[in-house]
């Protein structure tokens, strides 16, 4: 059985060439599963608690759980990513972007973090930043459904602004 990094590398390689939306979704789910898998009981407990808190829209609880993870397991990218998601849901974009940066420092191929970053950049009017982020996402998954339309929309806005 290949180790987790090798499994991730293989899935990302397949994601770069996948063209069918269902195949892309299945590959992304496989990657998410590997990102979430840990052998750490306490980490898993806090991750599950934080995910339940998000579902219940108890964002303060979720942030507490994910903050515990980022403090106890600072090299675990998914703790940072989940907290970034909660900050985004609360409208705390600056805090979200800081956690996205840390997620990408730990896992540069994190398509969820890249997608979230691009969404925030577009919302706050940082079209140049959004374009860079979407291009980075395109290198990971060129056929991601909706990605080409997002790239065109941002590029059109930049072109329309006379930049």
Report, as an integer, the average pLDDT of 128-148. 96
Give yes or no for residue 163 having a pLDDT over 60: no
Give yes or no for residue 20 having a pLDDT over 50: yes
Report, as an integer, the average pLDDT of 78-107. 98
* 72 neighbors 42 (Cβ within 8 angstroms): yes
Note the pLDDT tens digit of each residue in 147-158. 999 999 999 999
**Confidence tier at 91 by pLDDT (50, 70, 90):** very high
pLDDT of residue 21: 96
Smallest Cα–Cα separation from 115: which of 79, 76, 144? 144
Note the pLDDT tens digit of each residue in 37-68. 999 999 999 999 999 999 999 999 999 999 99
pLDDT of residue 1: 57
The HSE-up count of residue 19 (CA atoms within 13 Å, CB side) is: 0
**Which residues make up the CATH 1.25.40.10 domain(s) of the chain?**
38-108
- CATH 3.30.1360.120: does it fit domain 38-108? no
Report, as an integer, the average pLDDT of 131-137. 98
Report, as an integer, the average pLDDT of 99-125. 97
Give yes or no for residue 131 having a pLDDT over 50: yes
Q: How far is 72 from 35, CA to CA, in rounded Å?
A: 17
Torsion of CA 80, 111, 75, 90, to 10 degrees: 0
Q: How far is 153 from 160, CA to CA, in rounded Å?
A: 10
- The pTM for the full model equals 0.93
pLDDT of residue 102: 98
Neighbours of 62 (CB within 10 A): 25
**Confidence tier at 162 by pLDDT (50, 70, 90):** very low
């Amino acid at each position: 059985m290949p180790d987790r990094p090798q499994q991730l590398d293989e899935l990302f390689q397949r994601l770069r060439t996948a063209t069918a939306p269902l195949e892309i979704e299945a590959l992304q789910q496989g990657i998410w599963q590997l990102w979430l898998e840990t052998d750490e009981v306490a980490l898993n407990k806090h991750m599950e608690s934080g995910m339940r808190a998000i579902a219940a829209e108890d964002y303060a609880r979720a942030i507490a759980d994910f903050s515990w993870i980022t403090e106890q397991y600072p090299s675990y990218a998914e703790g940072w990513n989940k907290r970034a998601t909660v900050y985004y849901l609360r409208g705390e974009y600056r805090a979200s972007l800081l956690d996205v940066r840390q997620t990408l420092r730990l896992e540069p191929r994190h398509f969820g973090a890249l997608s979230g970053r691009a969404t925030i950049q577009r919302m706050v009017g940082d079209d140049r930043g959004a374009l860079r982020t979407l291009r980075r996402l395109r290198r990971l998954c060129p056929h991601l459904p909706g990605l080409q339309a997002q790239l065109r929309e941002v590029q059109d806005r930049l072109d329309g602004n006379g930049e």
